[in-house]
Amino acid sequence: MLDLLLEHRIVAILRGIEDKHADAAGKALLDGGIRLMEITMNTKGAAAMIERWRSRFDGQAAIGAGTVLDVAMAREAAAAGAQFMISPNLDEEVIAFGRERGISVWPGVMTPTEIVRAWKAGAEAVKLFPMASLGLNYLSEIRAPLDSIPILATGGVDLDNIAAYFKAGANAVGMGSKLLNMEWVREGRFDLITERARRFAETVRGL
């Protein structure tokens, strides 16, 4: 999973999507070149969607679980077939759970201390969050001494600044509404979602 993350460098975050729209939205992202997609565990029916996507998009995209706050959620995500787990928080028990089962866990961190704690606990990458509030200068500052730990920067990414995220030291970015416009989903405008995904994927490939 880490190799996929470092190669494709975008994780699509689907939060609150209705089950009836999920498959078409996932296909639209896939058609646009997105290869890592997470459904957050606080989305109604998340486990069922993850399980279905593992079959539907097998060999085409890696499917993960987001907002995995504790081991109970991790257990549910693993049972559904999640290939990676992402959290907004650092829970070493979740990291240990994933390691025991061969599932990548990318925990949420903010401070240098949390980043190193996650790394020592066995996380192969960390999610720096909330980037929209922390800002790119923060990422750049902590990247200097912590240059060997892969960072997934999440929050505030759009087409205008995505290059700046990577210049500041991000190895990958997590994207929600700026990538998957839920109004387009509800309107069935999946062509627009594919086109937006393609623009992001092409921009990242060109960096």
Quote the pLDDT of residue 74. 98
Active site residue 7: no
Quote the pLDDT of residue 203. 97
Quote the pLDDT of residue 104. 97
Structural domain count, the chain:
1
Quote the pLDDT of residue 68. 98
Q: What is the Cα–Cα distance from 156 to 154, expressed in whole angstroms?
A: 7
Active site residue 127: yes
Domain at 172, CATH number = 3.20.20.70
Beta strand extents in the chain (DSSP E only): 10-14, 36-40, 62-66, 84-86, 104-106, 108-109, 126-128, 151-154, 172-175
The answer to whether position 162 is within a domain reads yes
The answer to whether position 206 is within a domain reads no
The answer to whether position 141 is within a domain reads yes
Quote the pLDDT of residue 58. 96
What rounded mean pLDDT belongs to the chain?
Answer: 97
Q: What is the Cα–Cα distance from 134 to 119, expressed in whole angstroms?
A: 20
* Mean pLDDT, rounded, for 76-90: 98
Q: What is the Cα–Cα distance from 31 to 41, expressed in whole angstroms?
A: 24
101: left (phi over 0), alpha (psi -120 to 50) or beta: alpha
Quote the pLDDT of residue 81. 98
Band of pLDDT at residue 29, cut at 50, 70 and 90: very high
Band of pLDDT at residue 2, cut at 50, 70 and 90: very high
**pTM, entire model:** 0.97
* Mean pLDDT, rounded, for 190-199: 98
Q: What is the pLDDT of residues 156-173, one digit of tens each?
A: 999 999 999 999 999 999
Q: What is the Cα–Cα distance from 110 to 74, expressed in whole angstroms?
A: 21
Q: What is the pLDDT of residues 106-125, one digit of tens each?
A: 999 999 999 999 999 999 99
The catalytically annotated residue of 18, 20, 27, 38 is: 38
Q: What is the Cα–Cα distance from 97 to 104, expressed in whole angstroms?
A: 10
Instruction: List Cβ<8 Å contacts ≥24 apart for 66-73.
Output: 66/13, 66/14, 66/15, 66/38, 66/39, 66/40, 66/41, 67/15, 67/40, 67/41, 67/42, 68/41, 68/94, 68/105, 69/41, 70/94, 71/97, 73/41
Quote the pLDDT of residue 1. 96
For 33, the domain range is 2-201
The answer to whether position 207 is within a domain reads no
Task: Supply 146's token pair.
Answer: 């912590």
The answer to whether position 114 is within a domain reads yes
Q: What is the pLDDT of residues 52-78, one digit of tens each?
A: 999 999 999 999 999 999 999 999 999
Any alpha helices (H) in 150-189, and if so which ranges? 162-168, 182-187
Neighbour count for residue 19 (Cβ, 10 Å) = 13
The catalytically annotated residue of 92, 127, 183, 202 is: 127
